[in-house]
């Protein structure tokens, strides 16, 4: 199943805090980078309500979190916090409560300062690998890399390295 994130050309950076039950977990699984406030409480509670998760958690959690981690929380409905979410790979960073949105914005801004062609190609190549395997990703890389290397952004990247400054990328 392609996540919504797999259908957009830019990465999805998400902040989560407070009570993040059911759909919040499924949104986090569909995002590219998730920042959690230390007070977040996660719970995939559908199993305790006589139903099952139906927003993609049964498809994405086993792959992203590992089978045992996914099954533990999908089958028990047990609540877990930010540190456990970090341990199992649901979130990439835990920050003090109230700073999660600012941190997610800072990461998104850092990504936005990078070479747009490189960001898009990296994201696409990683998605190809995720959905179609290593062989397909290698072929995609072979097809994509020459255009990236010939871009104005690649030339700017080299020049900025030589001049020891941040790149000024245009997406061309």
- Pair (26, 102) in one structural domain: yes
**Number of domains the chain is built from:** 2
Catalytic residue positions?
A: 26, 46
- Whether 167 maps to a domain, the answer reads no
What are the DSSP calls for 90-120, one per residue? S-SEEE-TT-HHHHHHHHHHHHHTS-HHHHH
Does 152 share its domain with 123? Answer: yes
Let me know if residue 72 belongs to a domain. Answer: yes
Domain presence at residue 49: yes
**pLDDT (tens digit per residue) in 23-81:** 999 999 999 999 999 999 999 999 999 999 999 999 999 999 999 999 999 999 999 99
pTM: 0.89
Domain presence at residue 122: yes
d(CA 62, CA 29): 10
């Amino acid at each position: 199943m392609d996540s919504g994130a797999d259908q957009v050309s830019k990465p999805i950076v998400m902040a989560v805090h407070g009570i993040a039950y059911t759909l919040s977990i499924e949104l986090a699984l569909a995002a590219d980078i998730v920042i959690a406030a230390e007070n977040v409480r996660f719970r995939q509670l559908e199993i305790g309500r006589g139903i099952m998760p139906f927003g993609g958690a049964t498809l994405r959690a086993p792959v992203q979190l590992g089978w045992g981690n996914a099954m533990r929380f999908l089958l028990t409905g047990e609540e877990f916090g930010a540190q456990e979410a970090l341990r199992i790979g649901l979130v990439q960073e835990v920050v003090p409560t109230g700073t999660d949105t600012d941190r997610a914005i800072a990461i998104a801004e850092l990504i936005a300062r990078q070479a747009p062609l490189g960001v898009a190609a990296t994201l696409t190549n990683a998605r190809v690998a995720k959905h179609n395997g290593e062989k397909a990703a290698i072929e995609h890389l072979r097809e994509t890399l020459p255009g990236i290397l010939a871009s104005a952004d690649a030339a700017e990247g080299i020049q900025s390295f030589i001049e020891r400054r941040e790149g000024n990328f245009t997406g061309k």
